[in-house]
Structure 1
Amino acid sequence: MKSLKYIIAFSLTLPLGACEKLLDVQPKSAISDTQTIVDKASAETALRGVYSALADGSYYGTGFQSIGYLSGDNVQWTGSQSQVQEFINHKVNADNATISSAWTAIYRTINRANNVLAKVPQVATNVTFSETLRNQIIGEAYFIRALAYFDLARTWGGVPIITNPTQSPTENWNIPKSTAAETYAQVIADLDLAEPLLPETTNRFQATRKTVWALKARYFLYQQDYAKAEEYASKLIGDAANYQLLKPYNAFFANNARGTQESVFEIFYSATETNAHRNQWQPQTNGGTRQWAPNSTLVDLLNNPLTGGSRSALIAKDNQNRWYGNLYYRSPATDPSFVIRVAELYLIRAEARAQQGNITGALADLNAVRDRAELLPLEAFTTEEILLAIENEHRLEFAFEPHRWYDLVRTGRAQEVLQVTDTKRLVMPIPAEQLLIDPGLTQNDGY
């Protein structure tokens, strides 16, 4: 296949295992998509294909998420894959395999969502396929497409915006990059479309209206619309019957936990569809490779009772006295990938309140997260001091989740904290292979 960014819609008619096999086959423009989604069963199969793409090893299964934590200052490279060191050094090359595979996986997800959005509205409703169910499927596809464009925008800046399904190898070529602002505009447009279509229920593995609210809180924080960020974060924080900061800290992941009240949206994996995260973090004695590991600074912070508290559960030592990350540990590797946790919403609201001058409210949210980690509350701060405290708390709360790099970039702190001397490196390069394939693409400045 010339480019997995351009996947024919026909793949959505197959079972999930067959979907992945088809992706290795050269697409043929003669294959028709007119019968791909024709009833309730095929619509639901197509939606499962969208979630399967989201869970792919190159997207939330490891690749994309690793960009967020490897590019920060919590992780050291210990293995043989030199491309990992490019993230740690903040000198990522356009031929970096992780960058290429993540780009491909995200656009694959978008294409599958586009197929659902193009076809499901045309399916007639009946006794078994109600309008409510049809709207829910459409709403979930809009949400996932919004998440995908959000991840593209915060990683690469402006990207080509494709909202129609790709049905042949050369379709949707020569679409120029949009600006970062235009890409983010696509995100909020999709979220606005998803919100009224989805039920206001609690589901930690599928998109609901509450999941939309959570992503909107993150989106508005990135856009520095702090009043809106606070508003949407409060919707879930206020739903204490369904969303809570669990004690102890490791309650959301230890002892094979999944789908706890801590979780807003996480991705489910099974023994047949595993999560590749575990292999990268666990040491050889546990059947992993320990390709990357917590660095000494993070180890000190997590083990310090004044900063880490019960978050020291994130790390452990192997039989050679080496520290390793223990967020992903299950065998077989059925660990969830956490997309949004309620702790993030507390810290989003804390930051939003601080930016609006509500120091008391910001401290309350920050200290709620600290209390869950068995840390003493912090006292009154200036705005600058509490923003730094929130940044530091965020670093440890999500030490092995894809937040640190993106948080420092969006706040303008990456240059100082990570010593990124070339500001053009605050976005990743467009994959070199995509530039060779698509003449409409241009490389980001500085690469």
Structure 2
Amino acid sequence: MYINRLILITVVVLFASCAEIDDLEPVTEINADTAFNTEEDVLASLNAAYDPLQWQSVLGQNTFPLLSQGVRADDLHSQSASFWAIGAQWDQFSTIIPSLPSVAALWSKWYRAVGRANFTIELAENFDNYETDGLQQQIVGEARFLRGLYYFELVRLWGGVPLFEEPITSSEQEIFKPRSTAAEVYALIESDLQAAANVLPDKGGERVQGSATSGAALGLLTKVYLYQQKWSDAVTSAERVMNQGVYSLEEDFRNNFLQTSEFGPESLFEINYQDGLFAGGFVNTNQQQEGSAMWRWSFPFLSGTYPSFNNFIPRQDLVDFFDDSDQRKAATFLLPGQVLNSPGLATLGFDPVPDNFGYAIGVNTGAKKYFLTFEEVQELLNVEGSPLNEKILRYAEVLLMHAEASLMGGGGDGQASFQQITDRAYGPGNLAAPAYTIQGVRDERRRELATEGWNRFTDLVRWENLDGGGVIGPALQAIGKTDFSSPRDLLLPIPQQEIDTYPQGMLEQNPGY
């Protein structure tokens, strides 16, 4: 999604979030009648609404989903030692406090994204100069999908949050709103995703490659139902995805994470990256990220021509959680002795993978789903970029959600969905495959989605709430995290700067902070 930069400069005044209240006061009042003359202008606004998905840094602070999901949980060490302050802060609970700048940055990221989606919805609904049939409902559908996705991130990280359903385009508008309940936030998300699913095309008919489809909306809606324990609704929504007939599992699990097979049969929605469109670093304040920096963050450090960072290191407990017969293990981790087929890395002594990485934490593995070979790195126009996409939602997750909701009483043949996952992972008839039970589904969900960055911590939280306790605490204690406190650490703190900016007493803090 690459927008006309001149249009963005005009519009950006209006895209601020409630995270920067001062920015909500427009320099001038701009409306669709004076600033947007063509349907291409409206599409530029929509493209700007996609853009926050690429932001790995906001206000100079890293906002990787892996921090709030994998590092905060039991899947990842933040780094091979203690040289990255932000990573270390997310790797323990005592430092995740209301004044933590990276918490404020994450809040800002998703609210700025909401602001852009809101602006596009209002603009597209009121614009009169369309030349392409059906484009208006397409744009509104995509923007509502994005708003649903952005609010879903907010509600599962913070609980009930202030709901802004209209863009701030005038200084006369209400810019302070109290927190809505989680149920109210989820109701808006459901409405947005249902509306999007009803108007967006199936995969294969999308507006441009990477734009939202009905399958993406239904897949995310399934997840939203799952988080609310609406089991029958989750089964129905998952089956709508399955019955579209345009999705299937990749036969080779590795194909989900290669540049040569992006937007494959398993992909419902992914962040579409391109290399070299922005020449700056990813730790910046203008959020013009176009390429992913994940290869640098998640590969062992090799000096000179392969300058990576030793961050997002899989915990040995996670590696050991995989059976050796599981094909996902070699696709998820860099393992000692593994051949990477990269002659350039071989010259650096890293192909095959060495037996000892020399990490201070004593782990000898690395994350592989964002891996680039030496040869791919040499082709990058910007060493901090990568054209390798990030998967937000795969068909495998839809099948696992269908299996889970079915087991919880939602109906449907969840066992058949579960078997598709285990047959691919272990091969048919392999006794290493887990049984179709609640724990079996939870374990497979962890293995299937490990290190991708969008699920682990909030999965533990929802299972904690579902089971009445006894899920997240033991999981964290097993890896030595002893400073977790429930219910405080189930949610992130509302950033203190937000509370201080609001009228006194209007924005309530989460319990325990």
Provide the residue aligned with 2:67 in structure 1: 66
Cα displacement string for residues 89-133 of structure 1 (whole angstroms, at most 9, x for unaligned residues): 33421223332211111111111111111121111145x233x10
List 4+ stretches of structure 1 deviating above 6 A. Answer: 17-26
Alpha-carbon distance in structure 2 between the residues aligned to 1:170 and 1:284? 52
Provide the residue aligned with 1:47 in structure 2: 46
Match of 2:324 among 300, 305, 329: 305
**Given the superposition, is the C-alpha separation of residues 69 and 256 from structure 1 closer, same or farther in structure 2, using an over 3 Å criterion?**
farther
After the TM superposition, which residues 12-23 of structure 1 pair with which residues of structure 2 at under 5 Å, given as runs? Answer: 14-15=6-7
Provide the residue aligned with 2:487 in structure 1: 423
Provide the residue aligned with 1:444 in structure 2: 510
**Given the superposition, is the C-alpha separation of residues 227 and 168 from structure 1 closer, same or farther in structure 2, using an over 3 Å criterion?**
same
Alpha-carbon distance in structure 2 between the residues aligned to 1:326 and 1:17? 37
Match of 1:323 among 323, 348, 365: 365
Q: CA deviation at 1:346?
A: 0.6
Match of 2:100 among 90, 96, 101: 96
Match of 1:281 among 298, 310, 321: 298
Counterpart residue type for residue 242 of structure 2: I
Q: CA deviation at 1:366?
A: 1.7
Q: Percent identity?
A: 25
**Given the superposition, is the C-alpha separation of residues 446 and 176 from structure 1 closer, same or farther in structure 2, using an over 3 Å criterion?**
same
Alpha-carbon distance in structure 1 between the residues aligned to 2:262 and 2:12? 25
**Given the superposition, is the C-alpha separation of residues 37 and 248 from structure 1 closer, same or farther in structure 2, using an over 3 Å criterion?**
same
After the TM superposition, which residues 234-383 of structure 1 pair with which residues of structure 2 at under 5 Å, given as runs? Answer: 234-240=239-245, 242-254=246-258, 256-271=260-275, 272=277, 273-285=290-302, 286-302=306-322, 304-306=323-325, 308-317=326-335, 320-321=356-357, 322-330=364-372, 331=377, 332=380, 333-356=386-409, 361-375=413-427, 377=429
Kept after mapping to 1: 8 A contact 2:119/2:167: yes
Alpha-carbon distance in structure 1 between the residues aligned to 2:12 and 2:65? 18
Alpha-carbon distance in structure 2 between the residues aligned to 1:316 and 1:65? 18
Q: Secondary structure of the residue that 1:14 maps to in structure 2?
A: helix
Match of 1:140 among 135, 139, 142: 142
Kept after mapping to 1: 8 A contact 2:67/2:90: no
Alpha-carbon distance in structure 1 between the residues aligned to 2:310 and 2:321? 20
Kept after mapping to 2: 8 A contact 1:146/1:190: yes
Provide the residue aligned with 1:6 in structure 2: none
Alpha-carbon distance in structure 1 between the residues aligned to 2:165 and 2:98? 25
Q: Secondary structure of the residue that 1:394 maps to in structure 2?
A: helix
Count of residues paired in the alignment: 428
Alpha-carbon distance in structure 2 between the residues aligned to 1:341 and 1:62? 22
Provide the residue aligned with 1:397 in structure 2: 448
Counterpart residue type for residue 81 of structure 1: W
Alpha-carbon distance in structure 2 between the residues aligned to 1:347 and 1:411? 15
**Given the superposition, is the C-alpha separation of residues 414 and 235 from structure 1 closer, same or farther in structure 2, using an over 3 Å criterion?**
same
Matched, 1:150 2:169: no
Alpha-carbon distance in structure 2 between the residues aligned to 1:310 and 1:168? 51
Matched, 1:211 2:216: yes
Alpha-carbon distance in structure 2 between the residues aligned to 1:58 and 1:22? 20
Alpha-carbon distance in structure 1 between the residues aligned to 2:172 and 2:56? 25
**Given the superposition, is the C-alpha separation of residues 13 and 123 from structure 1 closer, same or farther in structure 2, using an over 3 Å criterion?**
farther
Q: Could you list the runs of 5+ residues in structure 2 that have no partner in the other structure?
A: 278-289, 336-349, 358-363, 381-385, 465-470, 478-483
Kept after mapping to 2: 8 A contact 1:245/1:262: yes
Alpha-carbon distance in structure 2 between the residues aligned to 1:255 and 1:29? 41
Give the TM-score, by structure 2 length.
0.76
> Which shifted more, 24-33 or 396-405?
24-33
Backbone CA RMSD of aligned residues = 3.0
Kept after mapping to 2: 8 A contact 1:211/1:264: yes
Alpha-carbon distance in structure 1 between the residues aligned to 2:309 and 2:5? 36
**Given the superposition, is the C-alpha separation of residues 313 and 169 from structure 1 closer, same or farther in structure 2, using an over 3 Å criterion?**
farther
Match of 1:33 among 30, 34, 56: 30
Kept after mapping to 2: 8 A contact 1:63/1:98: no
Kept after mapping to 1: 8 A contact 2:120/2:143: yes
**Given the superposition, is the C-alpha separation of residues 141 and 196 from structure 1 closer, same or farther in structure 2, using an over 3 Å criterion?**
same
Cα displacement string for residues 6-51 of structure 1 (whole angstroms, at most 9, x for unaligned residues): xxxxx99835589789989985633221233332011011001001
